Structure 1
Amino acid sequence: MADIAPAHLIFYILLSYLVAAFCLNYALTIADRRAASRRSRRTWSWLAASALLGTGLWLASFFSLPAKGLPLAADRPLMIAVLIAAAALFGAHLLLLLDRNNRGEASDSLSGLPGRIAFEKSLQQAISNAEGDGLPFAVMFLDLDRFKNINDALGHDVGDHLLQTVANRIRECVADKARISRLGGDEFAVLFRPGLSKDSLLLAAGHLLSDVARPLFFGETEIHLTTSIGISMYPTDGESPVSLMKNAEAALYSAKAEGKNTLRFYLPAMNDNLRESVLLETDLRKALEREEFYLVYQPQISAITGQVVGVEALLRWNHGKKGLIPPSDFIPLAEETGVIVPIGDWVIRTACAQSSQWQKQGLPPFRVAVNLSGRQFLNKGLVPFVKRTLLETGMDPSNLELEITESMTLDIERSFSTLRELKQLGISISIDDFGTGYSSLSYLKSFPVDCLKIDQSFVRELLSETNDRSIVSTIINLAHSLNLRVVAEGVESKEQLAYLASFGCDEIQGYYVSKPIAEKDIPCFLKRSS
C-alpha cells in the first residue's frame, strides 16, 4: 500500500471536517429556513466555494499520489493550497455560526419580528433618549387568550399559522408608530414612539383588540382569537427595562384576570395581585394532597313536572388559611397551569363514587353531570380513565353525563373520535354554555351529543330582551330538531321558568330551583321535590 504524504493526510482530515460541517449547518439551516438572511446566503456561498476548492485539490492530490509520498518541491504548493482552503472553510463556518447566533438574538424565526433581546436593547435605547428629551413613552404587552387550548386542539402547524397572522395584524395596526417584537410563545411586545397621548394609546390598543379578534381561517376551519393587553408608561411606571417590562406584564395579567379580551394600564396594586396569584398557584398544586377540595351539587328539574332529573357536580376549594376561594379565581389558574387535569380526574372519581353511594341508599336513579376542562378533553388518557373509574366505583354509566364546551370541538375529527368513544361507554354528553362559542351547525348534527345547555347570559335577560328570547327559542327548536335535550342554566324566577316552559325547554337549573347543596342534603331535596 502506498505511503500517504502529510499534505494528503491533512486533505483527508479537511474533507471529513468539510462534510461534517456542511451536513450540520444544512440541518440547522433547514430548521431555521424561515429566518434565512442575505448574510447567511452569502456565507453559504463561501462554504460552497470552499467545498469545491477543497474537493478539487483533494482529487488532484489523489491522482498525483506517488508510491512513497511527494517530493518536497511538489509538496510546497500543495501545502499552501491546503492552508488557503482550510482558512476559507474555517472563516466561512465561523461567519455562519456568528450569523445564526446574531439572528437568534435579534429576530424571531417564526414571525420575522425582533426577539426579546432586541426588544430589551431598543427599550434601553428609548430610555436613554427619553432622559435627554424628557418625552414619556409606552410599553405594551399582548398575550393571546386561550392560545394553548387552540394549539393543543388543532396542532402546532395551525398554531404557527395563527401566530404569523397575528404578527402581521399587529404590524398593520401600529407599525407606523411603534416597534413590535415577539417575546416568545404567544406573547408580543410593542414599544411606542415617545410623545403619544393616552388617548392615542387607547385608540391603538382598541384597534389591536378588534383586529386580533377578526376570524382567522386555516383551511376550512374558522378560528376566533382574542388578546389581552397590559401597558406601562415611562417614567411613571418605571425607569429601567426590567421595571417597565415587569409592570406591563402585571397589567397584562390584570387584564386576563378581569375577563380577557381587554386592556389595562399599570397600577401599583397590580404587582400585589400578581404576587398573590403566584402564591395561589403554589397552594393550588398542593390542594389535592391536602384534601381541600370538595363537591357540591346543583339540582336540575323537569320544566314541565318539576321532578328532579339530575344534578351538576360543582368544585369548591376550602383553602386551609384563606377559607373559600371563588371558582372564578382558581379554575382559570388551574386550566392555565395544567393542574386542572388531576383536579378534574378527582372530580369525576368523586362524583361517580357519590352517585354509587346514593344508589346504595335507595335513591331513585338520576344523572350526575360533570364539567370537563379543555385540557382533560384533549388528554389521550381520558376515555380509559372514565372507563376505569366507572368499573372501580360501580356507577351505572347511564347516570353519568360529561359536559364539554363549544371551544373544545375545534378539532372536529379528534373531538368526534373522543366523543364517540365516551358514548360507547354508555354515558351521555352535553354541550355547556351553548350559544357563546362558535359551533358549526353542520358538525353539530353529526356529533354524538345528547343535550344542549343554554348559557345563563341568555336566560338572565329573558324577560326584558327580545333578542335573548329569540336566541333561546332558536336554540330550543334547533336542539329538538336534532333530537337533543335542552337544559336552561341560571333560572332565578318563576317568570323565567314560565317563558322557558312555553318555548318547550326540557329542564332547568338555577337558584329558583336550588342553590348548590352538599351531598348529604340531596336525599332530603329529592324527598321534598317528589
Structure 2
Amino acid sequence: MPRFGFFAIREFHIAIRDVTHLRDMVSLAQLADGSPESLEQLSAANDLVYIRFERIDGGDTISEIPAYAGIVPQVKDAVKRIDVIIQAGLPLDEKGLRQLGIELDQIVARMNDEYYKYGEEVNVDLYAAETNLNRFNYQIAFALTVLSALAIGTAVLLIGRRETISKLEFLAWRDATTELKNRAWMSANRDGLLERARLSGQQLRLFLIDLDHFKSVNDTFGHHIGDMLLKTVAETLQSVERPDEVAAVRLGGDEFAIMAIGPSDDLGHRLREQLNRFADLDGHQVRIGASIGMASFPDHGADISTLLRNADSALYAAKAEGRSGFVTFSPAILSQIDLQLGEEAAIKQALDDDELFLVWQPQFELASGRMIGAEALVRWRDRVSGTVRLPDSFIPTAERSDLILEIDKVVLSKACAQAVRWVPVSAGDFICAVNVSGKTLQADAFFVHLVEVLQQTRLPPARLQLEITEGVFIQSKDALNTLAKIRKLGVSLALDDFGSGYSSFGYLADLDLNQLKIDRSFLNDLESSRKKQDVVGGIIALANSLGMTVMAEGVETEGQLAFLIAEQCHGAQGFFMSEPIEEKLLTNHLIARRGNLKARAGSKLNLSA
C-alpha cells in the first residue's frame, strides 16, 4: 500500500468535510451577523479547521501531496482572516464573510477534484487493498484513536477555546452535513458487523444507495437545497437504524450505505418508496429519487469486498433499468453488465471507425403539402454483423454513459455538413432538425462544438433546429443557460416528444422555443379516442397562442392526417407521408420540387414527394 494511501484518503475526506462545514457556518454568519449563536458556531468551525490543518496534518500527509501543497496555505490564510473577524465581535463583517465564502467555495471545489484524482491514483476505495486493511484493521483503529487524542490535547492547549472532546470524537466518525456515520466509521466497523452476523448465523445485507440527478439539484437550486436534500435522505435512513443491527452510512457525495444484520424483510422496497418522492425544500418541490443495489452474506459473498462488488453491480443494474429502482444481486447481473460493457466498447469502436450515418425523415407543411424540413436520424452500420442498427438498439446504452456526448457531436457535424449542401436546392425556410440529449446540453464543450461546426460548414444558423426533450428542464441550470445561448446564435429549438414526460407547461411561456413536437403516442388510436383528440387539439391551441408552431410525429394513417389538418396543425412527419430516406434521395426530391414550390404554395395538400 502506498505510504499515504489509506491515511491520506481518510485525511483528505475529513479535511474536505471540515472546510465544507466552515463554509456553511460562514453562510449562516452572513445571514445572522449580529447573532451570538452564529459567532459561536463560526468560532467552533474555524477551530476544527485549525486543528485539522495545523495540528493533525502536521505537514506529514496533506501538504506532502503536490496537488495539495498550494491548498493548505490558502486554508490557513482563510482561518487567520476569519479569526480577525471573530475577534472584532458583533456585528460580524458581512463583506469580509462574503469574500471568504467565495474563496472557501473555490477551495472546496479544488479539494474535491484532487481528492478523487488522488483516490484513483492510489486505487484506495471501500474494497481495494482488502487484505492489507483486514490485516491492519486493529492497528489502524488504534492509530486513528491515538492520533485523535493527541490532536485534541494539543488543540485544547494551543487554542484555549472551549472545545469538548465528545464533539471532536463525534465529528471524527460522523458526516458533518447529515450526521450519519461516515466512510471512516464503515471502514473500521464493517468487518465486525460481518463477524457478528457469521457467529449468530444471520444474514448481513449491504445496501448501496445512489441519488438520481443530485448534481442537477445542486446546479438548479443551489448547494443549500442540495444539502437540505441530503439531510432529508439522512432522516429517512436514520429512521431504519437499530443499535448493533442496522447502520446507516454516508459514503460521500450522494452515495449512502445501509448494513443490516437479521432475517430478510422488505427494507429495500421500503427505502425505495421513501426515497423516491417529492420533498418541500425551502419552498421548492424537489424529487429525491434513488437507485438501490443489495447483496447479502452468505448468499452473495463471504467477505465484505465481495459483498461491496456485488452490491455495486446490483446498483449499476438498477440505474441501467431507468433509475429509481431496487435490485438484488444475482449472477445473471454480471452477465448483463458484461453485455453492457461489451456494447459500450462496440459503440466506441463504431465511433472510431465512422460507422454511424444519417437518414432523414421529411417534414411537411400541412397547409400546402410542401416539404419544409427533415429530421436527422442516426443509424449504425455494424461491420461485424453487417446489419444496420436502429437507435433504439444502442442509444439507451450510450445515454447510460458519456458516449452519447460523442454521438451527439458526430450527428451534429454530419447533419450540418449535409444541410449546407441542401441550401442551394431548397426553399429559404427549409430546416434540418437534430436531436440533442439532456446530458449533452449540460456539457460545456457542446456549445463550443456547435459554434465551431456552424463556422466550419458556413451553415446559416436559421437553417438548423435542435430538438430537445422535456427532461432538459429538470437537468440543470447549465442546460438552460446553454439553450439561451443557442437561441442567441439564431438556431431554433423544438421541444420533442411533448407530453410524454415531465410536465413543461410552466416553462413554455418563459423559454424561447420555436416549436412543439407532439409525441407519437398521442396519435395512436387518435381517430377513435375523443380524449386524445381533445389533448392534441389542446396542444395545438396552446402552441398557437404562444406563437409556436406544432409538428406532429408518427403520422401513419389518413385519418390522423385529416384530423391534424382540421385542427390547423402546422406540420407533420411520419410513414404515411414518407419513411426515413437517405440523403441522395432527399436531394433528388428537393431538386425536382425546386421550380414548383411557389406555384404549389397555395394549392391543395399534395404529399406525393
Q: Which is higher, the Rg of structure 1 or of structure 2?
A: 1
Partners in 2 of 1:395 and 1:120 — Cα distance? Answer: 57
1:264 is aligned to 2:327:
yes
Deviation readout 1:284-315 (Å, 9 max, x if unpaired): 44543322322222222334554332221123
Deviation readout 1:382-403 (Å, 9 max, x if unpaired): 4454333223212232221012
The residue number in structure 1 matching 2:175 is 108
The residue number in structure 2 matching 1:399 is 463
1:288 is aligned to 2:356:
no
| Residues 154 and 410, structure 1, Cα contact 8 Å, conserved in 2 | no
The residue number in structure 1 matching 2:316 is 253
Q: Name the SS for the 2:523 alignment partner.
A: helix
Partners in 2 of 1:345 and 1:418 — Cα distance? Answer: 15
1:130 is aligned to 2:197:
yes
Residue 486 of structure 1 deviates from its aligned partner by 1.3
1:89 is aligned to 2:154:
yes
| Residues 183 and 189, structure 1, Cα contact 8 Å, conserved in 2 | yes
TM-score, L = length of structure 1: 0.72
Q: How do 1:62-461 residues align onto structure 2 when only pairs under 5 Å count?
A: 89=154, 106-119=173-186, 123-172=190-239, 174-175=240-241, 178-197=246-265, 200-201=266-267, 204-205=268-269, 207-217=270-280, 221-321=284-384, 327-328=391-392, 330-360=394-424, 362-364=425-427, 366-410=430-474, 418-439=482-503, 441-460=505-524
Closer/same/farther in 2, CA of residues 141 and 29 from structure 1, 3 Å limit: closer
Partners in 2 of 1:522 and 1:405 — Cα distance? Answer: 26
Q: How do 1:47-62 residues align onto structure 2 when only pairs under 5 Å count?
A: none
Closer/same/farther in 2, CA of residues 275 and 382 from structure 1, 3 Å limit: closer
Residue 101 of structure 1 deviates from its aligned partner by 10
Residue identity in the other structure for 2:253: G
Residue 502 of structure 1 deviates from its aligned partner by 4.0
Residue 192 of structure 1 deviates from its aligned partner by 3.2
Residue identity in the other structure for 2:460: D
| Residues 228 and 260, structure 1, Cα contact 8 Å, conserved in 2 | yes
Closer/same/farther in 2, CA of residues 137 and 352 from structure 1, 3 Å limit: same
Residue 191 of structure 1 deviates from its aligned partner by 2.5
Match for residue 20 of structure 2 among 31, 39, 61: 31
The residue number in structure 1 matching 2:79 is none
Deviation readout 1:91-111 (Å, 9 max, x if unpaired): 8689x9x99997787433333
Closer/same/farther in 2, CA of residues 312 and 31 from structure 1, 3 Å limit: same
Partners in 2 of 1:32 and 1:251 — Cα distance? Answer: 33
Q: Name the SS for the 2:272 alignment partner.
A: helix
Closer/same/farther in 2, CA of residues 125 and 503 from structure 1, 3 Å limit: farther
The residue number in structure 1 matching 2:91 is none
Q: Name the SS for the 1:288 alignment partner.
A: helix
| Residues 300 and 507, structure 1, Cα contact 8 Å, conserved in 2 | yes
Residue 271 of structure 1 deviates from its aligned partner by 0.8
| Residues 320 and 400, structure 2, Cα contact 8 Å, conserved in 1 | no
Closer/same/farther in 2, CA of residues 224 and 518 from structure 1, 3 Å limit: farther
Structure 2: which 5+ runs fail to align? 1-13, 26-39, 56-150, 593-606
Partners in 1 of 2:457 and 2:420 — Cα distance? Answer: 7
Residue 116 of structure 1 deviates from its aligned partner by 3.6
| Residues 105 and 116, structure 1, Cα contact 8 Å, conserved in 2 | no
The residue number in structure 2 matching 1:508 is 572
| Residues 153 and 408, structure 1, Cα contact 8 Å, conserved in 2 | no
Partners in 2 of 1:168 and 1:326 — Cα distance? Answer: 45
Structure 1: which 5+ runs fail to align? 1-24, 52-85
Partners in 2 of 1:445 and 1:167 — Cα distance? Answer: 37
Closer/same/farther in 2, CA of residues 283 and 150 from structure 1, 3 Å limit: farther
| Residues 153 and 378, structure 1, Cα contact 8 Å, conserved in 2 | no
Closer/same/farther in 2, CA of residues 89 and 297 from structure 1, 3 Å limit: same
Closer/same/farther in 2, CA of residues 115 and 29 from structure 1, 3 Å limit: closer
Residue 158 of structure 1 deviates from its aligned partner by 4.1
The CA RMSD measured in Å over matched residues stands at: 4.1
Q: Name the SS for the 1:529 alignment partner.
A: coil
Closer/same/farther in 2, CA of residues 157 and 377 from structure 1, 3 Å limit: farther
Residue identity in the other structure for 2:196: N
| Residues 290 and 325, structure 2, Cα contact 8 Å, conserved in 1 | yes
The residue number in structure 2 matching 1:488 is 552
| Residues 226 and 261, structure 1, Cα contact 8 Å, conserved in 2 | yes
Closer/same/farther in 2, CA of residues 183 and 328 from structure 1, 3 Å limit: farther
Partners in 1 of 2:152 and 2:189 — Cα distance? Answer: 36
| Residues 415 and 432, structure 2, Cα contact 8 Å, conserved in 1 | yes
Q: Name the SS for the 2:307 alignment partner.
A: helix
Residue 433 of structure 1 deviates from its aligned partner by 2.2
What is the number of equivalent residue pairs in this alignment? 456
Partners in 1 of 2:439 and 2:280 — Cα distance? Answer: 23
Partners in 2 of 1:227 and 1:411 — Cα distance? Answer: 16
Deviation readout 1:109-163 (Å, 9 max, x if unpaired): 3332223453455543343233233333433222233334444455544434333
Q: Name the SS for the 1:238 alignment partner.
A: coil
Residue identity in the other structure for 2:413: R
Partners in 1 of 2:188 and 2:390 — Cα distance? Answer: 41
Residue 451 of structure 1 deviates from its aligned partner by 0.7
Closer/same/farther in 2, CA of residues 137 and 30 from structure 1, 3 Å limit: closer
Residue 422 of structure 1 deviates from its aligned partner by 2.4
Partners in 2 of 1:93 and 1:317 — Cα distance? Answer: 67
Closer/same/farther in 2, CA of residues 390 and 226 from structure 1, 3 Å limit: same
Percent identity between the two aligned chains: 32
Residue 482 of structure 1 deviates from its aligned partner by 0.7
Residue identity in the other structure for 2:294: I
Partners in 1 of 2:305 and 2:169 — Cα distance? Answer: 22
Closer/same/farther in 2, CA of residues 267 and 489 from structure 1, 3 Å limit: farther
Residue identity in the other structure for 1:316: R
Residue 404 of structure 1 deviates from its aligned partner by 2.0
TM-score, L = length of structure 2: 0.64
Partners in 2 of 1:466 and 1:337 — Cα distance? Answer: 41
Residue identity in the other structure for 1:163: L
Residue 449 of structure 1 deviates from its aligned partner by 0.9
Deviation readout 1:41-81 (Å, 9 max, x if unpaired): 9x97x98xxx9xxxxxxxxxxxxxxxxxxxxxxxxxxxxxx
Closer/same/farther in 2, CA of residues 89 and 229 from structure 1, 3 Å limit: closer
1:529 is aligned to 2:608:
yes
Residue 427 of structure 1 deviates from its aligned partner by 2.1
Structure 1, 273-282 or 428-437: larger mean CA deviation: 273-282
Closer/same/farther in 2, CA of residues 133 and 278 from structure 1, 3 Å limit: same
Structure 1, 467-476 or 229-238: larger mean CA deviation: 467-476
Partners in 1 of 2:189 and 2:474 — Cα distance? Answer: 38
Partners in 1 of 2:153 and 2:204 — Cα distance? Answer: 47
Residue identity in the other structure for 1:140: F
Structure 1, 395-404 or 294-303: larger mean CA deviation: 294-303
Partners in 2 of 1:120 and 1:263 — Cα distance? Answer: 24
Closer/same/farther in 2, CA of residues 136 and 156 from structure 1, 3 Å limit: same
Residue 450 of structure 1 deviates from its aligned partner by 0.7
Partners in 2 of 1:513 and 1:167 — Cα distance? Answer: 54
